[in-house]
Amino acid sequence: MKSKTASILFILAIIAGIHVIGIFFFMKSGKDGKSPSPQTTARTEAENSAIAKAEEEIKKKVEEKAKDVPPLPYDYSLAVNGNIPELPQGAVAKSGILVDINTRKVLWAKNAKEGVPIASMTKMMTLLIAMEDVRNEKVSLSTDVKVTKHAYKIGGSQVYLDPRETFKLEDLLKTIAIKSANDSAYLVSEFLGGGDVESFISRMNQKAEYLNMPNTKFFNAHGLPGTTSKEDNISSAEGMAILAEVLLRSPKIVEWASTPTFTFREGTDKPMLITNHNKLVNECPGVDGMKTGFINRSGFCITVTCKRADRRLIAVVTGFNTWKDRNSFVKKLIDWGYRRAPLVESGKVPPPKAAEPVKKAATSKKTSGAKSKK
């Protein structure tokens, strides 16, 4: 809370500074009431140019600082809790949330604050930390990153990095957002951690706490399962919605997350065409992100961002038995959300009744961890 207050005070201080600078030069230029000489006019123009440049720099700093401010809390007062009668497919979901970002209203919630395994949705935080370093000019998207032996050994969904290769940071981030490449995610965490992966993971957890993501804990940067369930990355549906909302402030991440296909190693003798694991970017109108995930302990999960007209929704679900069932439900959930959101906004829906007990979701026969996939 202190960090959030400090950020707001910082922005207000900068805005006040702009006004002080403007008032000072205005008073200075007009204090004697005489017509300005050519020299004075030239000096005034130079001063105005300097003021404009300073204001532009301050504006950029304010905009960049605003990207780091935690989103406002969500309002659950009119949320449908548990299963949605019109969407029986949702009974299998272990947890989920649907939020109208325009109004901060939660339209649907199911165990939304409960910590659950999030598999490759982990990579959303990896992308956020990486772009934070780019924004702070610690690195650039064109920075060269050499593949390490540790990254080479990472399994699951990957782009088969080779220790003899070097890539631009941007290309690695694209493979994380589009292909869900575990080897790229590990390499980025290793590189930005200065060779210390644990340092990067510590930053992930600090950021989760700063953003007020309920019940969130990271153990790695890719989402592969731990040796036991206690070492799986976990977060809540609400936490992933918050993270997605922050990622939407980065046009580059939205661009990558909504890219259907991308040629990795283009221009080499072994180009690799990669396809977006989030098939909803092609199948559901308005979807422009964000990330899929799967290990056996999480089931098939997904965080989806969608914009139709001027309304932005974010949906998160976990615990599905197949990616097809997950995608089918989310498409229907989003359509339902766009019908319901205007009614909630106008107050035309009654407050929800006490949530009915949620039926236990059907569980997969597999219960152990598995490699992170879709």
94, 110, 123, 174: the catalytic one is: 123
Do 223 and 203 touch, CB atoms closer than 8 A? no
Q: 239 CB contacts (<8 Å, ≥6 apart)?
A: 208, 211, 213, 214, 215, 216
* Annotation says 157 is catalytic: no
Tokens of 162: 């080779």
Spot the catalytic one: 120, 157, 236, 250. Answer: 120
**How far is the C-alpha of 83 from the C-alpha of 349, rounded, in Å?**
17
Catalytic residue among 180, 189, 235, 298: 180
CA–CA separation, 294 and 225 (whole Å): 10
Q: Which residues pair with 314 in a beta bridge?
A: 99, 305
Smallest CA-to-CA distance from 313 within 108, 105, 70, 101 is with 101
Contact 291, 280 (CB under 8 A): no
Q: Give residues with Cβ within 8 angstroms of 234, minimum separation 6.
A: 115, 116, 117, 118, 215, 216, 217
CB 301 within 8 A of CB 294: yes
- CA separation, residue 322 to residues 89, 123, 231, 296 (Å): 12, 20, 23, 11
* Structure tokens belonging to residue 355: 């949530």
Question: Which residue do the tokens 């204090």 mark?
Answer: 31
Known active-site residue 180:
yes
Whether 300 contacts 87, CB under 8 Å: no
- Residue whose tokens read 């056996």: 296
Q: How far apart are CA 180 and CA 221, in angstroms?
A: 11
Measure Cα distances from 67 to 211, 344, 349 in Å.
Answer: 11, 28, 33
Burial of 243 (0-12, 13-18, 19+ CB in 10 A): buried
Query: E-strand spans in 224-340?
Result: 234-235, 261-264, 272-275, 287-295, 299-308, 311-320
Annotated catalytic residues are 120, 123, 180
